[in-house]
Structure formats: C-alpha cells, structure tokens
C-alpha cells in the first residue's frame, strides 16, 4: 500500500514542473519527457540519458529543419472498401527513396486504416470537437456525483486518454502496441538523420460521409 502511494506521489510530482523543465532542456515532447522521468523515478539527468539512448532527443533537435521532399503513399484494405492516403515529408529526395522511409509510410497508412485517427497531433485537433468532449466528460463526472473540486482533474485525465485514442502520433502502433506512432517516427528520424514530418492523411470508408 505504501509503495503504491509513493509511486503515485512521484507521478504527481513529475506531471508538472519536472516535465516542463526536461522539455526545456531536451526539446522533446511532453509525453516522452513524462515517460522518461517516470522510468527514471524523477531523476532528470537519468531521464535525459534515457531519451538520448532511444534517439528521441536527437530526433527532436531535427524537427525545426525544413522538410519539403517525401512521398504520398496509399493503402487499400482487402475488399476495396477502406483506403488511406498519407503525405510524409523528408528534407531530401534521397531519404524519401530509401527502403526504411517507404516502409514507414506504408506501415503508417496501414495503421491509420486500422486505428482511425482524426488528426496527426493534439495541436491539429479541432478545438470545437475538443470542447465538446470536455463538456461531455464534465457532465458525466457531475452526474456520477463527483465533487466539484476533483471534476477538472477527472476531465483532464479523460482528455489525455482521448488524445491517445484519436491523435495519430499518440496512438499505440498497431504492429507493436508497446510503442506509440511517435516512437516509431522518432526511430526513423534518428536512423535517417533528417527531419521527417507526417504532414496529413485522409481515410476513406466506402459510403461514409467525408
């Protein structure tokens, strides 16, 4: 029991100031920083080592570089009733022509077909959709009799889960659910040494309104 509370306290401490400080030092996304700090039991230096070992910190450093080359890939599911088109950009055509880059785009299109994300990242989500979800979660919490002072925390927790369900980069990768699509993306960036950007995608279902 005491061990569980200790872990919860570490998680609570990590979830705010420590995550922001690690992000400032490494330029790595909030979720990756939080995972690294959790794994490092709150030790910032150890968390930085974890991020570097995984190639994430180096990958994030390349994100500001311009990516105008790349590929448009497609995936048509068996039966021809579901299809995906995706644009992934690289800095050079050389990288875009590599087997690793082409495999990444194909796998990503297949993942989108299976997991049905609605945006590449949380920043791309329609704010009206997000506010509607917040309103629903708040009403559910109040109907369940939750105290007003904890409703916001409940809503924030459900919104985080919503991001993981609908944002491509935060979804568990279908071929390896132990990693996210962002993990897969960072691995490719570290491997090819260039900025790679998942720019946009469209998922078509036969007979479905766009």
User: The domain that contains 75 carries what CATH number?
Assistant: 3.30.479.20
List, run by run, the mean pLDDT of 10-residue segments along the chain (210 residues). Answer: 42 64 70 84 84 63 66 94 95 91 96 96 91 92 85 91 95 95 92 89 87
Residue 5: what pLDDT? 41
φ, ψ for residue 48 (rounded to 5)?
Answer: -65, -40
Residue 210 lies in a domain: no
Which residues span the domain enclosing 92? 69-121+167-205
Residue 6: what pLDDT? 40
Residue 102: what pLDDT? 95
CA 34 to CA 164: how far, in whole Å?
14
Residue 66: what pLDDT? 60
- Domain co-membership, 12 together with 106: no
Alpha-carbon torsion (133, 139, 142, 147), positive or negative: positive
Domain end: 61, 95, 112, which one?
61
Helix (H, G, I), strand (E, B) or coil at 147: coil
CA 39 to CA 124: how far, in whole Å?
28
The number of domains in the chain is 3
Confidence (pTM): 0.66
DSSP state of 33: H
CA 210 to CA 208: how far, in whole Å?
6
- Name the token pair of 155: 């809503």
- Domain co-membership, 134 together with 183: no
Question: Other CB atoms closer than 10 Å to residue 48's CB: what's the count?
Answer: 19
């Amino acid at each position: 029991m005491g061990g569980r509370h200790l872990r919860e306290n570490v998680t609570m401490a990590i979830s705010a100031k420590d995550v922001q400080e690690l992000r400032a030092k490494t330029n790595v996304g909030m979720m990756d920083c939080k995972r690294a700090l959790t794994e490092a039991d709150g030790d910032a230096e150890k968390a930085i080592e974890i991020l570097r070992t995984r190639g994430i910190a180096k990958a994030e450093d390349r994100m500001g570089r311009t990516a105008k080359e790349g590929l448009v890939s497609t995936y048509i599911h068996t039966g021809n009733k579901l299809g995906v088109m995706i644009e992934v950009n690289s800095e050079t055509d050389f990288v875009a022509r590599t087997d690793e880059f082409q495999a990444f785009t194909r796998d990503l299109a297949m993942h989108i077909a299976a997991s049905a994300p609605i945006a590449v990242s949380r920043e791309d989500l329609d704010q009206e959709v997000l506010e509607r979800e917040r309103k629903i979660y708040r009403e559910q919490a109040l109907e369940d009799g939750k105290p007003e002072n904890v409703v916001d925390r409940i809503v924030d927790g459900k919104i985080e889960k919503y991001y993981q369900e609908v944002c491509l980069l935060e979804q568990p990768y279908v071929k390896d659910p132990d990693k996210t699509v962002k993990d897969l993306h960072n691995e490719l960036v570290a491997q090819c040494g260039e900025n790679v950007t998942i720019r946009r995608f469209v998922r078509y279902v036969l007979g479905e309104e766009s």
